[in-house]
Amino acid sequence: MVASVQTNATSLGGDFTERAERALKSGRPDEVSDAELERVMTAAIRLYAAKVESENSSVRPVAPESVTPTDIVVTVSALIRNAGLNLWDVSMWFNRMKR
C-alpha cells in the first residue's frame, strides 16, 4: 500500500510538469494555456501557504537549482501586483516566517 501511495504522490503534477518542461525546452511556452498555468499556480500557492502556516515549517517553495533569480523576480513581481500589494506591504511580511 505504501508503494502505491508513493507512486501516486510521485505522479501528482507529473503531467503538468512534463508539458511545462517540453514547452520550455522547445521555446514555446504558449503550449501550456494561461488558464491552465493560473489554475496550477493558484493551487500550488494556496497549498504552500497552508503547509507553512499549519506546520510552521520552512518547506522549500522551489528547487533553487532549477530556477534563475530572474524567474523568481518576474514571478514574485507579478504575484505582488496581482494581489494589489506593494513593496511596503511585502516588507512587513518578509521576515515574519524567520524564527
pLDDT of the chain, 99 residues: tens digit per residue = 444 444 554 677 889 999 999 999 999 999 999 999 999 999 999 999 998 888 767 788 999 999 999 999 999 999 999 999 998 888 888 777 554
Residue 82 is part of which domain span?
A: 66-99
CB 31 within 8 A of CB 22: yes
Asked whether residue 99 is assigned to any structural domain, the reply reads yes
Asked whether residue 91 is assigned to any structural domain, the reply reads yes
Asked whether residue 98 is assigned to any structural domain, the reply reads yes
Asked whether residue 48 is assigned to any structural domain, the reply reads no
Asked whether residue 20 is assigned to any structural domain, the reply reads no
- Residues 61 and 64: their CA atoms lie apart, in Å, by 9
CB 86 within 8 A of CB 80: yes
pTM of the model: 0.77
Q: How far is CA 78 from CA 26, 58, 62, 66, in A?
A: 24, 23, 17, 19
